[in-house]
Structure 1
Amino acid sequence: MLLSVGHACVDVYQGAVASLVPFFVAERSYTYAAASGIVLAASLLSSVTQPVFGAVTDRRAVPWLLPVSTVVGGLGVALSGIGGSYALTLVFMAVSGIGVAAYHPESARVARVASGGSHRAMGWFSLGGTVGFSAAPLLVTVVVATGGLRLTPLLIMPALAGSVLTLAVLRSLTRTPRGPRLSPTSGRDDWPSFTRLSLAVVFRSIAFVGLSTFVAFQVREQTGWGVGAGTAALFVLYVGGAVGTVVGSRLAHRWKRVTVVSTSYLLTVGAVAGVVFVPGPAIYLFVALTAMGLYVPFSLQVTLAQDYLPTRVGTASGITLGLMVSVGGLTSPLIGAVADAASLQTALAPLILMPAVSWLLFRRLPEPTLSVGKDDGVPVPSSGGERP
């Protein structure tokens, strides 16, 4: 639970990047392309460095990364509103992205140890991050709407709280140095399946990050309402994601994870089409359905990746989480450029295909061989055991 709350304190900054975009547009008159460049800055280094941090955690435990990366992730966002320099804003967002990247592989490794491989426990860990996403629009609105971007330094508060929580986790690890660990050396890595899963995650990320960057503007265009309507849409998107995370972990107890994920992606195709084309208040329903459909696979994809690469859990976590929440930002400037040149609806239309491609990639993925754990009857990797 400490890790789950700490996860929320970190992922609030991933949600904050998209939440700040409308305020940058309003206060600094950025174009869609320039605004999406802010998302790119936070995503680019995060996508590249997160697998690197994952490889490091495979070689040795680095729990001190948890509090340090939490503060770094928050510091970048907190400083992003200072001054009017676009270049400096990009630098600060990139710093935040590095902090987020450093946090996820080690936290996922520790969460897997603490959960014993339980889907339910990993679902709670993932839910923490989704709750952080969900809180971001409200936090940013409360802080920035009252005094403008100059108040972004106040956004450091969740990072400070999260770093204190992770210190409690470090103390727990110190008290139980020989606690149960999952083995990194037993089992056989299934790289072909992991590669297909990673590609599916890439297309899922393009859809989610693209929508989180532009859904506020899309809802305002489709409803004719003000800035508050866009903030509400972001809140619905992130809350729907939290619901989807819980639903996904529960469905995994009744059906195979691959089946749950592939079905969710297939159903999400229609939901994304609704976000792009449905006018009026009904668009909020499709925003919620899209978020649920894209987040049902969230924690399941992490555990699947870890089970496909049982000897490289940190690498699997780093790549999967990095792709899931970061790589989509690389395409945001392209979406923004098309929106500036044509229309926002035209720019968002290709996102309808993204979950369809993820579904195609998941259709024939094998379910990893599992055995039943003793903690709660939840399947855990058969490669479990003592890790030196």
Structure 2
Amino acid sequence: MITSKNSPETIQKTIYSILFIISFSHFINDLLQAVIPSVYPLFKEKFNLTFGQIGMITFTYQLTASILQPFVGIYTDKKSKPYSLIIGMSFTLLGLLVASIASNLTYLLLAVSLIGIGSSIFHPESFRVAHLASGGKKGLAQSIYQLGGSAGSAIGPLLAALIIVPNGQSSVVWFCLIALIGIFALYKIAIWYSRHLETKRQNKDLLNEVFIHKLSKKKIAYSLIILLVLIFSKYFYLASITSYYTFFLIDKFNVSIQVSQIYLFAFLGAVAAGTLLGGTLGDKFGRKYVIWVSILGVAPFTLMLPYVSLFWVGILSVIIGLIISSAFSAILVYATELLPGKVGVVAGVFFGFAFGMGGLGSAILGKLADLTSISYIFKICAFLPLIGLAAGFLPNIESKK
């Protein structure tokens, strides 16, 4: 329950009610974003699309979802906009409406562009809300926040399989009701956020954090580049799963669309579970080591996945999801400690870059699949986690108030 007044003592504590609501909002946001990719086979058949055009849809979404986020983050670092969260969810709702009535590829591209804009507005400020409500438990707070997004990404394909695949494209409109629930939750968050900012304005010295890591600007820049390289590795590989895993299963094992969606749900469910572990382990053992194990540690399993039976594909995909997903929360908190006071910039750049790499990966992999085969792109992408070796060059940093 959200209190009517935020006291200085209250906002120095971990506010779990706010963390759970913003996580729930993240759940809804990412659930709605996962709807379109999960019904790619339906759109491919209805509009006679190539894999390259499927990749273009994802690229368009990821581009609009990524290119605006750093600018939103920079702006909101200077002037927070609590009610912008509602605006972001409203763009997503409009995009779903367009997707439900789209009659060709052009309208599909318009629909995913609107959904992408909604995402670019939502993520920097929702990330900040989780940061403000953390009470210093940043890894835990980000894990709770990211868990919502990962769970939404997992549930989205399952709901799409149950609702859209049997009933057709027009049934996408039912997901607009979920967007309305999200808008209501974000209204509650906006009220708390506004009061929180007012309390901090009245108590200017409250929670004035100074992070001491004694790193030069050159070392900070070098470390940020390594983090972005690791994001590239993670999200380029995830693009192969989120966009083409169902096609891989259908092509190699001749399963139905519904069965392929269940396998995708299992993978994304594992991603959700791994997300919760990442931030908590980072708080306890150090974020660098979580990042290192998460990216590099998944390599043996990605290298095996293209060559095993359907049963083992399911098992390996769950293991991959659990391990690889634990990195993102740790990377985000590590970056905020490299750049104290720049929460919006960190959120905008890293979420934006993650979406951008996912979109670029989907477009490139789609074109490559047209030229070769779906199985081939999974064999190539299996080597991407080896880039995780770069995490060994990250400095060990500790933050102090």
The two structures have a TM-score, normalised by structure 1, of 0.90
Letter in 2 for 1:366: P
Q: CA deviation at 1:233?
A: 1.9
Q: CA deviation at 1:186?
A: 6.7
1:81-105 deviation digits (Å, cap 9, x = unpaired): 4132101110110111111011101
Q: 2:237 aligns with which of 178, 203, 207?
A: 207
Check conservation: 2:234, 2:385, Cα contact below 8 A. Answer: yes
Q: Is 1:106 aligned to 2:136, yes or no?
A: no
Show the counterpart of 2:14: none
Q: Secondary structure at the match of 1:369?
A: coil
What aligned pairs does 1:140-155 form with structure 2 within 5 A after superposition?
A: 140-155=160-175
Check conservation: 1:335, 1:348, Cα contact below 8 A. Answer: no
Check conservation: 1:109, 1:313, Cα contact below 8 A. Answer: yes
Q: Is 1:174 aligned to 2:203, yes or no?
A: no
Identical aligned residues as a percent: 23
Distance (Å, rounded) in 2 between the aligned partners of 1:239 and 1:186: 35
Q: Is 1:361 aligned to 2:393, yes or no?
A: no
Q: Secondary structure at the match of 2:101?
A: coil
Distance (Å, rounded) in 2 between the aligned partners of 1:74 and 1:98: 11
Q: Indicate the RMSD between aligned Cα atoms, in angstroms.
A: 1.9
What aligned pairs does 1:239-278 form with structure 2 within 5 A after superposition?
A: 239-278=269-308
Q: 1:72 aligns with which of 73, 91, 115?
A: 91
Distance (Å, rounded) in 1 between the aligned partners of 2:236 and 2:244: 12
Q: 1:20 aligns with which of 21, 39, 42?
A: 39
Show the counterpart of 1:94: 113
Against the structure 1 CA distance between its residues 369 and 185, is the aligned structure 2 distance closer, same or farther, given a 3 Å change threshold? closer
Check conservation: 1:116, 1:182, Cα contact below 8 A. Answer: no
Gaps of 5+ in 1: 372-381, 383-388
Q: Is 1:221 aligned to 2:240, yes or no?
A: no
1:127-160 deviation digits (Å, cap 9, x = unpaired): 0111111110122122212321122122212211
Q: Is 1:35 aligned to 2:64, yes or no?
A: no
Q: CA deviation at 1:287?
A: 1.2
Q: Is 1:83 aligned to 2:102, yes or no?
A: yes
Check conservation: 1:14, 1:133, Cα contact below 8 A. Answer: yes
Q: 1:301 aligns with which of 302, 326, 331?
A: 331
Against the structure 1 CA distance between its residues 304 and 160, is the aligned structure 2 distance closer, same or farther, given a 3 Å change threshold? same
Show the counterpart of 2:17: none
Mean Cα deviation higher: 184-193 or 28-37: 184-193
Q: CA deviation at 1:185?
A: 8.0
Show the counterpart of 2:311: 281
The two structures have a TM-score, normalised by structure 2, of 0.87
1:239-298 deviation digits (Å, cap 9, x = unpaired): 010111122123224421111111121121122223322232221111111211220112
Aligned length in residues: 371
Show the counterpart of 2:3: none
Gaps of 5+ in 2: 1-19
Distance (Å, rounded) in 2 between the aligned partners of 1:85 and 1:183: 52
Distance (Å, rounded) in 2 between the aligned partners of 1:19 and 1:255: 36
Distance (Å, rounded) in 1 between the aligned partners of 2:301 and 2:207: 38
Show the counterpart of 2:181: 161
Check conservation: 1:261, 1:297, Cα contact below 8 A. Answer: yes
Check conservation: 1:113, 1:182, Cα contact below 8 A. Answer: no
Q: Secondary structure at the match of 2:39?
A: helix
Mean Cα deviation higher: 170-179 or 220-229: 170-179
Mean Cα deviation higher: 47-56 or 188-197: 188-197
